[in-house]
Structure 1
Amino acid sequence: MFEIQTQIDIQASPARIWAILTDFAHFCEWNPFIVAAAGIARPGQILSLTLAVKPGRMMRFRPKVLHARASDKLVWRGRLLMPGLFDGEHCFTLSPLEDGSVRLSHSEQFRGLLVPLLRRGLERDTRAGFERMNQALRERAERHNRQAHR
């Protein structure tokens, strides 16, 4: 198993962040990592996602939603070809902080026969994609807050 863990603090409500994270149809407007998405954030549902793994390289897959609790946690599992070859369990957790902000923990656990061969690229490219996505999510959520307070 190999895991990537990232986090970012966002000055927005859990409900606002959740609304952005689960509005898959609008990912193309703001998300530099998951550049196209469709589906419903409900356990058992299948999503359609297109990742910009690195410049010029896209990856499409259809993960299954495992867990979706509003304003709290979203988890899906994607697989390459068949179980046990390359499986990834992607997780977003929202944790309210005392100052009114929210800590987004964004992680993925990778399992399977191909993980050792792909580990270097995962560490470099996938981690960078997570961090770009986290930053873009913060900018979108906080921009909404600034506009709401004008």
Structure 2
Amino acid sequence: MSFTSTSVSVVAAILIAAYSIGQFTSKSIATEIEIAAPASAIWAELANTADYADWNPFLKYLSGDLRVGSTLAVTIQSIGNSTMDFTPTVLVSDEAQELRWIGHLGFKGIFDGEHSFVLEETPMGTTIFRQNETFSGMLAFILFALIGNDTESGFKAMNEALKARVEEKA
């Protein structure tokens, strides 16, 4: 076996191993906040994507149809960092219950992020708003180490801003 074919085989084995490890070592961020409003009021703000720039400190821009199978154009920005644009695909869109999408860096399996907003009404008339993301893929472990804390801070900032906006209108 030549040096070139051996090198290609080694690189291929490393990439396959990294992909496999990335699929089984996903990293997640989970945040939640209680909002003194019904889920329908919170959903109305989430669905009004044209106003995100006015109130949302993390999700700066979102364009597209919030319908299963649709591709969105999204811009996020963690505090103190530059913006990041991506085009996720909507997986779930249940009005006043859940919005979930998945995005990929490059192509599936390199660095994937499945993001969700889940709204759960409580017996007291408030809503628990959960914002979660699970990262997977070959580079998940490495990239999560670089962006995890800033992303979680961005989620929390958005949650607080959403709470303030919805409760102000209630």
SS of aligned partner of 1:43: coil
**Counterparts in 2 of 1:97-112, with a 5 A limit?**
97-112=122-137
Encode CA deviations 1:54-74: one digit per residue, 9 max, x unaligned: 424110001111100010010
Identity in percent:
36
Structure 2, unmatched stretches of 5+, are 1-25
Scaled by the length of structure 1, the TM-score of the pair is 0.93
Encode CA deviations 1:86-117: one digit per residue, 9 max, x unaligned: 00000111001111100011100100111111
Whether the aligned pair in 2 keeps the contact of 1:67 and 1:73 (CA below 8 Å) is yes
SS of aligned partner of 1:57: coil
Which whole-Å CA distance do the structure 2 matches of 1:70 and 1:85 have between them?
31
Q: How many residues align?
A: 145
TM-superposed deviation, 1:37: 1.4
Between stretches 36-45 and 2-11, larger displacement belongs to 36-45
Segments of 4+ in structure 1 off by > 3 A?
Answer: none
Who is 1:148 aligned against?
none
Who is 1:121 aligned against?
146
TM-superposed deviation, 1:123: 2.5
Between stretches 28-37 and 113-122, larger displacement belongs to 113-122
Scaled by the length of structure 2, the TM-score of the pair is 0.83
Among 43, 65, 72, which residue is 1:40 paired with?
Answer: 65
Which whole-Å CA distance do the structure 2 matches of 1:20 and 1:40 have between them?
15
SS of aligned partner of 2:144: helix
Whether the aligned pair in 2 keeps the contact of 1:22 and 1:40 (CA below 8 Å) is no
Among 70, 75, 87, which residue is 2:100 paired with?
Answer: 75
Answer 1 or 2: which has greater helix percent.
Answer: 2
Structure 1, unmatched stretches of 5+, are 146-150
Which whole-Å CA distance do the structure 2 matches of 1:85 and 1:20 have between them?
32
Whether the aligned pair in 2 keeps the contact of 1:53 and 1:59 (CA below 8 Å) is no
Q: Are residues 1:135 and 2:135 paired?
A: no
Answer 1 or 2: which has greater strand percent.
Answer: 1
Give the letter for the 1:7 counterpart: E
